[in-house]
Amino acid sequence: MARRERGPRGRAGAATPALEVLTAAGTAHTLHPYEHTEGETHFGQEAVAALGVPAERVLKTVVADCGGELVVTVVPVARQVDLKALAAALGAKKAAMAAPAAAERSSGYVVGGISPLGQRTRLRTVVDASALDHTTVLVSAGRRGLQVELDPADLVALTGAEVAAVGR
């Protein structure tokens, strides 16, 4: 997997914050652009189909409300966030999905393009333990139609994530 210094540019002509984090850290990664279909709302499945990558290796970023604290959860597209397991992993009484508007405000990304990397507000992050079963995983690079492939250990390190079994 080659390190890529420059990639697709965002609307303002700059790389996405996720790509800026990867470049600044010198982290090896590969970009995987694909054509996003306007109106498609199953973003993870769209990426899986477009890229031909197993759903276990494509991770989705979900923002949850865990006892009044917004947290980032990263789980395979093939799974759902187990809210009880997430709450237990973070020592909270309960967890619920965050409102999309809250997720967008906090992350600085739009739903379907939320990356665990380069978020506007750095939140506590939990990566599902199954991600570490793979040599590389794909996550959103900060916009719909663009995934970035990297070592899951690098994802954990760059986000300061905790690793726990939070997918079901």
**Predicted structure pTM score:** 0.88
- For the segment 39-45, the average pLDDT, to the nearest whole number, is 84
- Check residue 42 and give its pLDDT: 86
What pLDDT, in 10s, does the model give residues 99-131?
999 999 999 999 999 999 999 999 999 999 999
- Check residue 97 and give its pLDDT: 96
- Check residue 44 and give its pLDDT: 87
Q: Does domain 17-164 have CATH number 3.30.1490.190?
A: no
Contacts 24+ apart (CB under 8 A), 33-36: 33/8, 33/145, 33/146, 33/147, 34/145, 34/146, 34/147, 35/145, 36/112, 36/144, 36/145
- Among 86, 160, 167, smallest CA distance to 129 is for 167
* Whether 148 contacts 62, CB under 8 Å: no
